[in-house]
Amino acid sequence: MSDGPLRLTSSVFVNDGPIPADCGCDGAGASPPLAWTGAPSRTASFALIVEDPDARSGPFTHWLVYDLPADSDGLPANVPRQPTIPGGGAQGENGFHTIGYGPPCPPRGEHRYVFRLFALDALPGLPPGASRDDLSSAIAGHVVAEARLTGTYAR
C-alpha cells in the first residue's frame, strides 16, 4: 500500500480505448486483466463495479467483484464465472442474471464500459451472487479511494 492516487489499468486496453474482441461477446468473452496501484494504507478490501452507462434502459451492470483482499493488486484475465474467486473475493450477479463477468455486447454502435475500483475500509461481507444495489449499499460510507478505467466496444 502506498497512499498514492489509486490507479486502475489493463494490459489489453488503455483508458478510453477499445476493449479487445476477446473480452467481448464477439470473442471468447473473457474478462480483461486488471492491475491497480496506490491503495491507501487503511484499505481493508477492494470492490469492482463494471457498467455500461450507454445502455438504453440506463446503466447496465457487467461485473461485480467484492471482498478482494487488501493486499491484492489486480485480477488475471478470464476470471472464472463462479461465485468465489481463487485467492479471495466474491462475484455478484450481473445484468445478464449470471455470476461473474458479462462481456460487452452492445446491440449496435459503440458503448463505453466503466471499470470502477473501490478501496474500502471494511469488507462488504455479502454472500456471492449479490446484486448491484446490495453492493452499493454495503460499500456506502466505506470508500477510501476510487479509480476508473473506461473502455469502448462497438459492434
Whether 1 is covered by a domain: the verdict is no
Is pLDDT of 2 > 70?
Answer: no
Mean pLDDT, range 118-147, rounded to an integer:
97
Which residue range is the domain that position 47 belongs to? 7-154
pLDDT value of residue 139? 98
Residue 131 lies inside a defined structural domain of this protein: yes
The DSSP secondary-structure symbol of 92 reads -
Q: What average pLDDT score do residues 51-70 get?
A: 96
Contact assessment for residue 3 and residue 143, using Cβ atoms and an 8 Å cutoff: no
Instruction: Return the percentage of the chain with pLDDT > 90, whole number.
Output: 93
Q: DSSP letters of 36-89?
A: EE---TT--EEEEEEEETT-TTS-EEEEEEEEEETT--EE-SS--SSSB-TTS-
Is 135 within a domain? yes
Q: Does residue 54 fall inside a structural domain?
A: yes
Average of per-residue pLDDT values in the chain: 96
How far is it, in rounded angstroms, from Cα 104 to Cα 117? Answer: 18
2 occurs within a structural domain: no
The pTM for the full model equals 0.96
Q: Is the pLDDT of residue 90 over 80?
A: yes
| Residue 108 confidence (pLDDT) | 87
**70 close to 47: Cβ distance less than 8 angstroms:** no
CATH number of the domain that residue 49 is part of: 3.90.280.10
Count of structural domains, the chain = 1
For 26-42, the pLDDT digits (tens) are 999 999 999 999 999 99
Whether 42 is in a domain gets the answer: yes
